[in-house]
Amino acid sequence: MNAHQAAALKNTEVVGTLRSGDSFLSDLRASERTVYVDGERVTNVVDHPAFRGAAKTFGRLFDYAAAPENRERMTFTSPDTGGPVWRCFQIPKSHEDLRAKRIAAEGWAEQTFGLMGRTPDHVANFFAGFAAVPSFFEAGGKGYADNVVNFYKHIRDNHKYVAYAIVPPQIDRSRPAHQQSDPTLYAGVVRETDSGIVIKGGQQLATGAVFADYLHLSCIHPLRAGDEAYAISVAIPMDAPGLKLYSRRAFALTAENVEDYPLTTRFDETDSFVVLDDVHVPWERVFIYRNIDLCFQQWWKTPSHSYGNHQAQARYATKLRFLLGLAKRLNEATGNDKAPPVQVEMGELAAYASLVEQMLYSHEVSGTIDANGIAWPSKISLYAVMALQSEINPHMIDIVRELTGAAMISLPSSSKDFNNPQQLADIERYYVSSDLSARERVKLMRLAWDFIGTEFGNRHQQYEKFYGGASYLVKTNMYRNYDFERAGRLVDAALDTSLA
C-alpha cells in the first residue's frame, strides 16, 4: 500500500465514524477547563457528583446519533468529507430538509424527555444558519465570512458541541455596556494583537457549557453607539486560558439517588455564568468584530435564530407530550381519570400541547426558500408560539398541580423508608392505587415531583420563560414580522363606505 492509499484509508476510517459517547467523555475528562462549583475548582466534570449524571446523558446522545439504526434520522452526508455528520448542521434547501432536521431534533429530545434545552443540536443549528449566509459576515470586512464557514465546517465534520453566552450580565440594565461602573464588566474586546483579540468581562448564561467543546460568545441584546467593543461574535475552546465557568447551584449534588430524583440525577444540564480574564481569540475564530449593526442583525438576517429555535420548539413539543403523558398517568393513579371535569382540564392541556406541536409543523410548511435556495422556517409561526410560551407554560404546570392534589406530597420521606421493616407494611398497604403497587405509585409521583416541584423542576419553569430571551423581546420579534399592512387594509376597506 502506498502513502496515498494509506491516507485514503485513514480518511475513510475517520469520515465513516461518528463521535461516540465514550470518545466525547474521554475528551471531556482530558480537557483542562476551569469550572467552579461549591467553592471548588472541578478538574474532571465527567466524574464529579455535580455533573456526572448529565455528562453520562450527553454521552448517550452521542451514541444515539452514532447508532446504525438512527443514522438516517440523525445524520446527513458532509459535502466536504463524504462522512456522516449530525443533521443539526445541515443547511436546509427545502421544506423536506426542514422536516428532516425537526425529526432529528425530536430524536435527541425524546432521549431526555425534552428536559435538556441546550443539547449539542441547539447552537449547531445557529452555526448552520450563519454558514448559510456567508455574505452577511463578509460585510464586516474581508475574511470574516471564511472564518465563520471554516469554523462551521470544523464543528460539523468533527461532531463538536458548542454552547453559547449571548446575553450581558444583569449588573445595571439602565446603562449601556460602555457606561457600566467598569467598562470591562461586560465581555468585550480590551486589546488587539497581530494574532487576534483579547476579551475581558462577564457574560450570561451558558447552559451546558460545562460539557461543551466550544463557547460561542456574542451579544443578542441591542447595543448602543459607544458599545463597539462588545459587538463581537467569536468561538473559544472551553479550555482556553482565562475562560472560567461559574456553575449555578448543581441540583444533582443534593439529589441522592435516581429513585427519589429520577430527572435531577440525569438531566441537570447546568447553567454557567462565564468570566473571561484576558482570553485570547485568534483572528480565525472571530466572525464579527466591533460592528453593532452586524452583531444585532446576525440573528435575524441569517436563519440562525430560526434554525436554533426550530430545534428548541421540537424539544419543547416533546416535553409537552411528556407532560401530557405524565398528567394522564397521575389521573389514572388517583382514580380521577374518568371524571368529566378532569377530562376537561386534560383537554385544555392537550389543546396547548397540540398548538405548540402544530405550530412546529407550520414553521416547516410555511417556511420560505430564499433567492440562494436556502430554506427558512416561518418566523411568524415560530415567534407566535415562542411569544406565548412564557404564559402557557406556567399555566399548564398549574393545571397539573391542580389535578394532582396532594398526590406528589403524600409520599414516604425517601426510598430508604422501603428498607425499614417497621414502615414497610403500612407503606405497602396505604401508598397504593387500584392498579399500582406502593413502589409503582411512589415512583410515578416522584417523577412528577421532580418534573414540577423540585429545584430542578422549578429551574425548568424559569428556563421555558427565558431561554429564547425575555418575553417582551420575543413579542417585539413577533411585532417586527407580523403583516400589519394586510391587517390594516382590512380596516381601511371597512372604513370605505363608497361601496355601501
Residues that bind ligand FAD (CB under 6 A): 118, 164-167, 170, 173, 204-207, 271, 459, 462-463, 466-467, 469-470, 472
- Residue 497 DSSP class: G
Between 207 and 318, name the residue whose CB sits nearer to ligand FAD: 207
Percent of the chain as helix, strand, coil, to the nearest 5: 55, 15, 30
CB of 247 to ligand FAD, least distance (A): 12
CB of 487 to ligand FAD, least distance (A): 24
CB of 209 to ligand FAD, least distance (A): 8
CB of 385 to ligand FAD, least distance (A): 17
Separation of alpha carbons 404 and 410, rounded Å: 11
Between 167 and 436, name the residue whose CB sits nearer to ligand FAD: 167
CB of 66 to ligand FAD, least distance (A): 25
Between 247 and 404, name the residue whose CB sits nearer to ligand FAD: 247
N-term to C-term CA, the chain: 89
Which of 124, 64, 139 minimizes the C-alpha distance to 91? 124
CB of 176 to ligand FAD, least distance (A): 13
Between 228 and 271, name the residue whose CB sits nearer to ligand FAD: 271
Which of 167, 270, 161 minimizes the C-alpha distance to 210? 270
CB of 500 to ligand FAD, least distance (A): 43
Between 296 and 463, name the residue whose CB sits nearer to ligand FAD: 463
| Cβ-Cβ contacts under 8 Å for 391 (sequence gap 6 or more) | 471
Q: Do the beta carbons of residue 281 and residue 196 sit within 8 Å?
A: yes
CB of 393 to ligand FAD, least distance (A): 12
Angstrom distances, CA of residue 497 to CA of 488, 491, 492, 494, 500: 16, 11, 10, 7, 5
Q: Which residue's Cβ has the minimum distance to ligand FAD?
A: 207
Which of 269, 265, 268, 270 minimizes the C-alpha distance to 255? 265
The set of cell numbers assigned to 326 is 405524565
Separation of alpha carbons 306 and 363, rounded Å: 9
CB of 114 to ligand FAD, least distance (A): 14
In 283-428 the beta strands, taken as DSSP E runs, fall at: 286-288, 368-369, 375-376
At 77 the three-state DSSP class reads strand
CB of 270 to ligand FAD, least distance (A): 10
Between 216 and 441, name the residue whose CB sits nearer to ligand FAD: 216
Separation of alpha carbons 382 and 40, rounded Å: 41
Sheet with 243-247, edge to edge strand ranges: 40-42, 34-37, 243-247, 271-282, 196-207, 188-192
Between 165 and 279, name the residue whose CB sits nearer to ligand FAD: 165
Main-chain dihedrals φ then ψ at residue 151, nearest 5 degrees: -65, -45
Give the DSSP letter string of 178-240: GGSSSTTSB-EEEEE-SSEEEEEEEEEEEETGGG-SEEEE---S---TT-GGG--EEEEETT-
| Cβ-Cβ contacts under 8 Å for 193 (sequence gap 6 or more) | 280
Report the run of H or E that residue 297 belongs to, with start and end. Answer: helix 292-297
Between 167 and 198, name the residue whose CB sits nearer to ligand FAD: 167
CB of 123 to ligand FAD, least distance (A): 8
Between 174 and 372, name the residue whose CB sits nearer to ligand FAD: 174
Between 361 and 463, name the residue whose CB sits nearer to ligand FAD: 463
Angstrom distances, CA of residue 67 to CA of 102, 112, 159, 464: 18, 17, 14, 30
CB of 258 to ligand FAD, least distance (A): 23
Between 234 and 375, name the residue whose CB sits nearer to ligand FAD: 234
Between 88 and 445, name the residue whose CB sits nearer to ligand FAD: 88
